Amino acid sequence: MPPKSSNRDAPSASESEANTKSSSRASTKARNAAAQQAQAELLARHIHSNGPNERVVSDPMDFDSFPNEVLRKYRDHYRLPVKSSLTVDGFLLESEIGKKSSSYKNKNRIRKDELANAVKKHFNSQTVKESEVLTHFLYKVNNQDKAFKLSFK
């Protein structure tokens, strides 16, 4: 009988099969974890639930830089219970001569920064449902050139 060779360094067939199974399982788990993380990041970036407990942080807008006319139009459109802001004429009424005029006594205005704060507060309190906005937008885009026309022949 030939002598048995000792191959302690070479793994048996069952050992190598077990190693490939465990390494393939580990790599599969790692790939799945990476895919789940990428999907979670994508969803967080592009999808908002607009649930009752979720408040979307709005981008900061500098309402103080808006002209008085824009702030007044916003106030009028949404019927905010705020007085209108002072115009240049209103600032002139603050002078010594202006305080003696009858227009100064009837002055019922606020400063521009107060109006801007009221508009900002109202703007930030508005809730928007993205699904409704997208639906209305798509409807408008699809039907913008179509008008109901009644024609007689």
DSSP 8-state secondary structure symbol assigned to residue 110: B
State whether the Cα torsion 103-107-113-115 is positive or negative: negative
pLDDT of residue 129: 87
Q: What token pair was written down for 82?
A: 């705020």
Per domain, the residue ranges of the chain are 86-125
Residue 59: which pLDDT band, with cuts at 50, 70 and 90? low
pLDDT digits (tens, 9 = 90+) for 27-39: 898 999 999 898 8
Answer yes or no: pTM beyond 0.85: no
Q: What token pair was written down for 29?
A: 């788990």
For residues 74 and 31, give the distance between their C-alpha atoms in angstroms, rounded to a whole number: 51
For residues 72 and 118, give the distance between their C-alpha atoms in angstroms, rounded to a whole number: 11
99: Cβ–Cβ under 8 A, 6 or more apart, which residues? Answer: 93
| Stretch 36-53: mean pLDDT | 75
Better-scored residue on pLDDT, 16 or 34: 34
